């Protein structure tokens, strides 16, 4: 009897489990205009959703965009309570850095390298304190030329190196978009064009660009 | 009896008060290189100390410099726990803004106007939460020409206006160094020189400049 | 006979002169995008033409636009042979300076103050060598706020001062658009707006702006 | 007799030749602060002289420095009559470009890429019209890191490419200092330092840097 009862109880639990909704992972994509556009049709967040669906994993994830145009690392810092922590995410993908470099040129208000690291670290610490899993992205491109002659390549490499080091130092997964974009362009951009391969305008993603970002992110997300 | 006792008790209290050490007000000057230099002989913090001494008020104040070269508003924000709040000041004089404007030109890493206001407000709120009295300074000059032809005059006026508005909105005393410096130069800089009147190099204070800043600050400090 | 012939010949000449078309003054407006737009309907060159017509002076002038967007003083220098001297103008109105200041901020490629003066002087010398009459304009505005808080006011004042000095030093008429715009805004821009009074976007002229520029230019042109 | 006479005549010619002064080639080094420093002891122009001496070729060359600190391509253009053409040089080594890129960052007054090419071309044409031989140098470095992470690497590569193309298009010898410096650093700068390998301060040459520039230049000069 006892054994039978045990088996029966086990059966019931199992049955309940299969009826109960799966606990979904809430994933927030935290970034700038590239991420702001990513929730639109064809955007990389939509495509990550498609990739999850193709593997029948849609019920395991909630994908939420939290991108605002023009944001730099300290904008993320200033709005992370309101836009990220208040939503209690399980995973946060940080994708920032383009404007920290670009705004040096266009507005004179880029971010000093040492300050970039300090604010980035502050964001990581605060997310970790809230028990979020985190993945870090390098900023992909400002210009797609492959011979290191895009005006801001030097600085973009420097800030990407800082993010790579932050990932290593904090044992966090890295989504190295800058490397992925350069590798892709070395194959597909034989004419050394400034844009039109993965971006529409040297910075913002075209369809191929959204696909590449989505697939790089999904690889890392699945494993988290 | 009751009356006599009352008098006696009153006497005791009075006596104790005159023997007990005065509770000194701890005043922290929170700023950039101008404030970093201000603790050296001839610097404006030393001169504020002299002014207090001249009025026999030295025992009422502890004057502490907390200036670091190159600091912008978000540097103050990042180090305020370590360098200000940990010292439990009674009064904090915030003197920042020159580099927020200047670094747009020299490094491409100045501070956006809206971000300047957000970080400045965050500093005020945090100091108020710690029960500090606060006074705000406008950034004096980057260039002493009096005909509005210093390269960064426009932006320096804009950021000074923001600080004036923050003082008003938060009912905080304003030490309007920019106005004081312009008024002084209109009188004393008839040749419309770039520097040498109140500064050595368009930005950092010479002796007259330190005196002017000290006297403007002391006027406000005494009344706090 | 001799006398009669002389009289007759004199008569013939006089008669021919009254039938021959007036020699028109060729006036070239030499500048940047503001001047490029000025030949369109409602533009300031069209309006100068209207003002000439209203005074029945249309047959005395040919008004020609030679503005190219983004031009700085050395762009004028580089293209003055092709775009100005080759057309043998009688009068050249030089209207340059906005981008020399503005591009410091937006592209990092503004013009050093001393180089601005050198190239400007080289243009004047070359036009004078070709016997052109010349009038110089100060750059009007980058932002219409009236309290000297437009970001680039300081530099725009400095470069305007240089142009005023060049006019004086070379005894050339000055069309002081910067002064005219500030005076107008002090009356009409009580809310201290950045744009919308004389410009559409802080720099380029709306209808009122085109009118003001045209009337300032026409005053000087008539007297040349 | 005839033969003896022939020999005698030959002897005479030889004798005259050894008494007549060799026609020296006047070589002008035309550039910025790097070239201004190059005439000092240890400077690259002095070292080129030493290299000529070591090959007993001192009597064939006059080496003249024409470098001025802060110069950009249009500074060379503006002063080439006074500082170069008036001296009737046989050879001009053009070494410019660092400030055209660097001043974008430090003063907001760098040179637009298309304007760089136009002024550079104008200099070449004017030197060619004066029958000067010309060699073009690429700007070596602003920062010696070897992983393309110096802030201005992208732009410096772009402007170097323009100079390489100008050399090719005009069939002029190229002294590719940028390539030479990168090759050297890849071997000798294993720690990826910003300076101290070939420069003192990321830009200006130390002893090794002066040696490398001198030897690259001497190779080309000898063959001209």
Nearest-Cα residue of chain D relative to residue B109: D105
Chain A: give the shortest CA distance to residue B156, in Å. Answer: 14
Predicted ipTM? 0.87
Ordered DSSP codes for C31-62: ESHHHHGGGSTT-HHHHHHHHHHHTT-GGGEE
Q: Left if phi > 0, otherwise alpha if psi is -120 to 50, otherwise beta: which for D108?
A: left
Mutation target to probe the B interface, by most B beta carbons within 10 A, among C153, C155, C194 is C153
Inform me whether the pLDDT recorded for B47 exceeds 90: yes
How far apart are alpha carbons D66 and D35 in whole angstroms?
7
Backbone phi, psi, residue A27, to 5° = -110, 120
In this structure, what DSSP letter does residue B136 have?
E
Considering all CA atoms of chain D, what is the largest pairwise distance in Å, rounded to the nearest integer?
Answer: 79
**Please, are residues C185 and C198 in contact by the beta-carbon 8 Å criterion?**
yes
User: Cβ contact (<8 Å) for C148 and B161?
Assistant: no
Inform me whether the pLDDT recorded for C216 exceeds 80: yes
Nearest-Cα residue of chain A relative to residue B100: A109
Inform me whether the pLDDT recorded for C13 exceeds 90: no
* Interchain CB contact of C79 with D (< 8 Å): no
Residue B18: in which H helix or E strand, if any?
A: helix B2-19
Please give the distance of CA A74 from its chain centroid, rounded to a whole number: 17
* Interchain CB contact of C118 with D (< 8 Å): yes
What are the CA-CA distances from residue B214 to residues B37, B41, B179, B206, D135 (Å)? 13, 13, 15, 12, 59
Interface partners of D (3+ CB pairs, < 8 Å)? Answer: A, B, C
Inform me whether the pLDDT recorded for A13 exceeds 70: no
Nearest to D67 by CA among D90, D98, D25: D98
Based on C-alpha coordinates, what's the Rg of chain A?
20
How far apart are alpha carbons A204 and A36 in whole angstroms?
11
- A2 — pLDDT class (breaks 50, 70, 90): very low
Nearest-Cα residue of chain C relative to residue B146: C154
User: Cβ contact (<8 Å) for B110 and A108?
Assistant: yes
| Cβ-based contacts of A101 with chain B (< 8 Å) | none
Backbone phi, psi, residue B63, to 5° = -100, 125
Please, what is the average pLDDT of chain C? 93
Inform me whether the pLDDT recorded for A11 exceeds 60: no
**Please, are residues C13 and C49 in contact by the beta-carbon 8 Å criterion?**
no
Helices A153-169 and D153-169 cross at an angle (nearest 10°) of: 150
Backbone phi, psi, residue C12, to 5° = -60, -45
- Over residues C56-73, the mean pLDDT reads 97
* Interchain CB contact of A109 with B (< 8 Å): yes
| Cβ-based contacts of C151 with chain B (< 8 Å) | 154-155, 158
List residues bridging with B175 in a β-sheet. Answer: B137
* Interchain CB contact of C59 with D (< 8 Å): no
User: Cβ contact (<8 Å) for C74 and D115?
Assistant: yes
Chain A: give the shortest CA distance to residue D158, in Å. Answer: 5
User: Cβ contact (<8 Å) for B109 and A105?
Assistant: no
| Cβ-based contacts of D74 with chain C (< 8 Å) | 74, 115, 119
User: Cβ contact (<8 Å) for C154 and B158?
Assistant: no
**Please, are residues D173 and A167 in contact by the beta-carbon 8 Å criterion?**
no
Interface partners of A (3+ CB pairs, < 8 Å)? Answer: B, C, D
Q: What is the pLDDT of residue C18?
A: 53
| Cβ-based contacts of D143 with chain A (< 8 Å) | 154
Inform me whether the pLDDT recorded for D1 exceeds 60: no
Neighbours of B198 (CB within 10 A): 26
* Interchain CB contact of B153 with C (< 8 Å): yes
Half-sphere exposure of A79 (CA within 13 A, CB side): 13
Half-sphere exposure of C155 (CA within 13 A, CB side): 27
How far apart are alpha carbons A165 and B82 in whole angstroms?
25
User: Cβ contact (<8 Å) for A108 and B111?
Assistant: no
Q: What is the pLDDT of residue C12?
A: 47
Based on C-alpha coordinates, what's the Rg of chain D?
20
**Please, are residues B144 and B201 in contact by the beta-carbon 8 Å criterion?**
no
Chain A: give the shortest CA distance to residue D150, in Å. Answer: 5
Q: What is the pLDDT of residue B40?
A: 98
Express each pLDDT in C100-125 by its tens digit. Answer: 999 999 999 999 999 999 999 999 99
Higher pLDDT, B181 or C14: B181
Please, what is the average pLDDT of chain A? 93
Chain C: give the shortest CA distance to residue D192, in Å. Answer: 28
**Please, are residues C166 and C160 in contact by the beta-carbon 8 Å criterion?**
no
* Interchain CB contact of C105 with A (< 8 Å): yes
User: Cβ contact (<8 Å) for C115 and D109?
Assistant: yes
User: Cβ contact (<8 Å) for A105 and C108?
Assistant: yes
Q: How many beta-carbon pairs under 8 angstroms link A with C?
A: 5
Based on C-alpha coordinates, what's the Rg of chain B?
20
Q: How many residues does chain B have?
A: 224
Inform me whether the pLDDT recorded for D26 exceeds 60: yes
Give the lowest-confidence range in B5-9, C132-136, D55-59: B5-9
* Interchain CB contact of C190 with A (< 8 Å): no
Whole-number percent of chain D with pLDDT over 90:
89
Q: What is the pLDDT of residue A5?
A: 45
List residues bridging with A24 in a β-sheet. Answer: none
Q: What is the pLDDT of residue D81?
A: 97
User: Cβ contact (<8 Å) for D109 and C105?
Assistant: no
Nearest-Cα residue of chain B relative to residue D106: B106
Written as six digits, the tokens of B66 are: 């907390």
Backbone phi, psi, residue B193, to 5° = -75, 155
Chain C: give the shortest CA distance to residue D104, in Å. Answer: 4
What are the CA-CA distances from residue D69 to residues B141, B205, D31, D141, D150 (Å)? 28, 29, 8, 16, 22
Nearest-Cα residue of chain B relative to residue C147: B157
Mutation target to probe the C interface, by most C beta carbons within 10 A, among A102, A106, A110, A155 is A106
In this structure, what DSSP letter does residue C22 have?
P
Q: Where are the alpha helices (DSSP H) in B55-130?
A: 73-83, 98-106, 113-129
Please give the distance of CA A108 from its chain centroid, rounded to a whole number: 26
Inform me whether the pLDDT recorded for D74 exceeds 80: yes
């Amino acid at each position: 009897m006892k054994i039978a009862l045990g088996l029966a109880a086990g059966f019931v639990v199992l049955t309940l489990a299969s009826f109960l909704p799966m606990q979904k992972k809430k994933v927030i994509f935290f970034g700038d205009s590239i991420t702001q556009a990513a929730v639109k049709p064809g955007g990389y967040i939509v495509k990550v959703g498609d990739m999850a669906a193709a593997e029948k994993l849609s019920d395991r994830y909630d994908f939420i965009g939290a991108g605002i145009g023009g944001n730099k690392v300290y904008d993320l810092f200033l709005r992370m309570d309101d836009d990220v922590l208040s939503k209690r995410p399980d995973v946060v993908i940080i994708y920032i850095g383009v404007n920290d470099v670009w705004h040096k040129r266009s507005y004179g208000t880029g971010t000093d390298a040492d300050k970039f690291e300090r604010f980035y670290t502050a964001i990581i610490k605060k997310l970790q304190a809230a028990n979020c899993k985190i993945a870090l992205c390098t900023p992909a491109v400002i210009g797609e030329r492959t011979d290191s002659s895009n005006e801001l390549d030097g600085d973009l490499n420097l800030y990407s190196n800082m993010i790579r080091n932050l990932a290593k130092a904090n044992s966090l997964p890295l989504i190295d978009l800058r490397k992925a974009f350069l590798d892709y362009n070395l194959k597909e951009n034989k004419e050394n064009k400034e844009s039109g391969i993965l971006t529409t305008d040297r910075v913002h993603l075209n369809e191929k660009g959204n696909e590449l970002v989505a697939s790089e992110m999904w690889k890392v997300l699945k494993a988290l």
